[in-house]
A and B are shown apart, each in its own frame.
Chain A
């Protein structure tokens, strides 16, 4: 199955949802990369390599990319993309990828190479609602030729894992 077919299957299985809550800052819904920067099949050239958060605090990873699945594809953008400055934001958010509109799900990735990354389902607005959804996203990425290391799903909170000691 191609990445495009896997994406279509995912989109057919789920309904896009509006953001869980409205962002604090109005500029967080300014569309920074709507319809742009869609994740294509591997290799992802010019990717900034990074890693999930490893040395708290603060709980941020290095070169964190935000991703969402929309009707158009999988736009992804560096959280620290310079475009944040023109919007007066400290960091970009998932709603900057959707303009505050609905999305299938969202999360974070950190590229280890042009063909592999860590993936988390953490998003304050478009978090996957089940482990199956997160696995569906991973399947799309695998279909695109990416080797995905998932941060996984936490049964206790029934939410994606955002941090784990054993990754790096």
Chain B
């Protein structure tokens, strides 16, 4: 009914689908806290493309806004104040902490949480994103697409005060927002093809037993992953290609506490990986291991989503250390190293070089894995395939630095990024999707600027940077 009315009002040709027409329709809309309107000259509020407005509010609201100039988008007179207030509390954050992170003054936050006040939408969306809410749903939907499990888990993480500061909780919340938005944009840009390869992966509850260790299962799952992805055995893979181009899994970089290597996040039906850019991950080989480890959780752990956020520390990455006691981590670590460096090729390469030190470095360089991972993996591979125990623990003097070739191959888009105002966690493939969506009129230029957190005048520079970064290699 609403769709028919909208079609008629906007004179959508009978032989064209409404969605296709809206994607190309030049009409822009502007919203404030409580209304969606057709864009008029002099409006300073957030501008939406017709497609964005349609996806956010549906055909009924769009039809009313087009016909009446303005549609009211309020679902309840307590909104959006109630959602913002309750979500902040759910995350265990004070007004001061939220203010510090979002750069929104305390008194403005207090007003936004009080239904007796109206707040500018540009402020509201800043707060919504900081709280991992769907900013477009604010006022229109109670809860604004809030993922309660994520909120509870963020609060739990925030309570681990020896490791996490409130800033880290909010960084994870921001990462959750990026993952969700990137997935939404990916679906808009690529339709059913987006994440279509994920369907082939059926999570496995097999974590081994007394005779068959969890790491052996991890090796098997890595083999199966290579098969499903069409990666030949023995050939090095890049995580940029696997996560970015093949599986479409959002990868977000953020400055997390120094012991944390990475995390997986599940937010309102979307999932992605967060990689710490600090400490050991500064070495691209360690970072590759972190991403592969998290990928192991996402692809193969059943119901990991119920945890909403799963945080890993660097100790979890190695399968021969005393740090990890859980089979779930052993399996993910074995999966990671075997995905990056299949054991048969590792053994063959090691045997082909009489100098153990050179052989070790050769394997590190060829497969792009770190020193510790390589040592343990070679030892484990010999034990696993040839029932032979070897020890490389005494090898010293092997350079641990990653080669520039691997830095270039895995380049994830955070270095040399201009403009600098765009934060680390938005410099990955997310930024590419934003630019593509803007160029295809799926989102307005104003939304693109807002998503990237840059100044309007910086957007052209950002576009150039993003285009050149993501067309390399």
Contact = CB atoms under 8 A, between A and B. Distances in A.
B72 A162 contact: yes
A164 B76 contact: no
A119 B207 CA distance: 68
B43 A156 contact: yes
Interface in B49-98: 67-72, 74-77
A156 B45 CA distance: 4
B323 interface: no
Given A55-B77, A157-B30, A157-B31, A166 B69 contact: no
Interface stretch (B34-42, B312-320, B334-342, B457-465): B34-42
B366 interface: no
Interface residues of B, number: 32
Given A124-B67, A127-B69, A159 B77 contact: no
A163 interface: yes
A149 interface: no
A56 B139 CA distance: 11
Interface string A44-55: 000000000111
B35 A163 contact: yes
A110 to B, nearest CB: 15
A86 B332 CA distance: 73
Interface in B19-51: 30-32, 34-35, 37, 40-46
B73 to A, nearest CB: 9
Contacts of A157: 30-32, 35, 37, 40, 43, 45, 70
A57 B75 CA distance: 6
Contacts of B43: 156-159
Chain A residues touching B, range? 20 to 34
Contacts of B77: 54-56, 165
Interface in A111-168: 122-124, 127, 129, 154-166
A83 interface: no
Contact of B72 (A59, A124, A127, A156): A59
Contacts of A123: 69
B37 A159 contact: yes
A90 interface: no
Interface in A20-63: 20-21, 24, 53-57, 59
B117 interface: yes
Contact of A162 (B35, B67, B76, B118): B35
Interface of A is mostly: loop
A165 B72 contact: no
A123 B37 CA distance: 12
B159 to A, nearest CB: 34
Contacts of B32: 154, 156-157
Interface in B252-300: none
Interface of B is mostly: loop
**B41, B69, B71 interface centre (most CB from chain A within 10 Å):** B69
Contacts, number: 88
B137 to A, nearest CB: 15
A124 B68 contact: yes
A166 B117 contact: yes
Contacts of A163: 34-35, 72, 74
A161 B73 CA distance: 12
A155 B8 CA distance: 30
B115 interface: yes
A38 B331 CA distance: 80
**A158, A163, A166 interface centre (most CB from chain B within 10 Å):** A163
A166 B116 contact: yes
A24 B37 CA distance: 18
A17 B122 CA distance: 33
A44 B96 CA distance: 51
Given A163-B72, A164-B34, A155 B118 contact: no
B121 interface: yes
B388 interface: no
**A54, A56, A155, A156 interface centre (most CB from chain B within 10 Å):** A156
B76 A161 contact: no
Given A56-B76, A56-B77, 19 more contacts: A24-B8, A24-B9, A56-B72, A122-B68, A122-B69, A124-B70, A127-B70, A129-B40, A154-B45, A156-B30, A156-B31, A156-B43, A156-B46, A157-B40, A158-B44, A161-B35, A162-B72, A163-B72, A165-B74
11 contacts: A24-B9, A53-B72, A56-B77, A122-B68, A156-B31, A159-B35, A159-B69, A163-B35, A164-B34, A165-B117, A166-B118
Closest 4 interchain pairs by CB?
A156-B45, A124-B68, A59-B72, A158-B42
